A and B are shown apart, each in its own frame.
Chain A
Amino acid sequence: MTAMALRLGHRLLRNVGELRWEPTAKRVSAQVGGRTVVSTSRARLVWEPGRVVPYYAVPEEDVDADLAPAPDFAGEEPGFVSSRTGPGS
């Protein structure tokens, strides 16, 4: 029997229904209001269940900002874009 090489992307998709993460060898930085709120070399890539594109996750201790519970958007349909203070506003 001939052994078949494994294409890694197929293995990753097999677990698409699970929460997945992987360290990333990148420095991740972000600014808000002209202030650097994140600068870390300990970021992780996180794929939420059912998603194929990852987010960056960073250690909470590397976030130089207040993190507070967000307003409750319950009842809105997925895909709704809520107004918020953001880039260009």
Chain B
Amino acid sequence: MTPGRFDYHTTDGDVLTIRAGGRELPAAAFRPADPDLAWYVVLDFDAPDAQVSCPVGVATNPLLGIEYKDSSYRGSTWTLYGTSGSGCYSGVSYGFYHISRFGWGDTISSAKAFSGCTGVHHEDGDASGSTYNCTCSSMGVMNDETSAIIFR
């Protein structure tokens, strides 16, 4: 990390504040104006409270999601991995069609998705019925109703 103030940049762009998890990190990101870096943001890795970089090849079982029995990411957790690949990039999807087999049917109240995935929570098995796309701290009418999850 370049020492010094992160909002002092030597190229054109916009200094950004990151807001997440009830926290606000002023000037923790930077959006360069250069067209080769369009849609990218540069991060001040001194700002988040946890960060990691590791070889992609290590992730032979990509982390797909963490399911929580209670809202606001509390209670017992169930961590879901894919059997192969690196996640949901390039249209890859992963299905858990009957989560009652794992003792998690109709118990999920909040969830997080990772590895480029959206966690689509289905009310009924075989990925049918109503759906709720969730990285979310509460699941509304789908609280304790999930029977299948598709990460895509």
Contact = CB atoms under 8 A, between A and B. Distances in A.
Contacts of B44: 55
A32 B27 contact: no
Nearest to B47: A86
B84 interface: no
Contacts of A46: 32, 37, 40, 42
Contacts of A38: 43, 48
Contacts, number: 195
Contacts of A48: 2, 9-11
B56 A32 contact: no
A31 interface: yes
Interface stretch (B16-24, B93-101, B140-148): B16-24
Nearest to A18: B11
Interface of A: 19, 21, 24-44, 46, 48-51, 53, 55-71, 73, 76, 78-82, 84-87
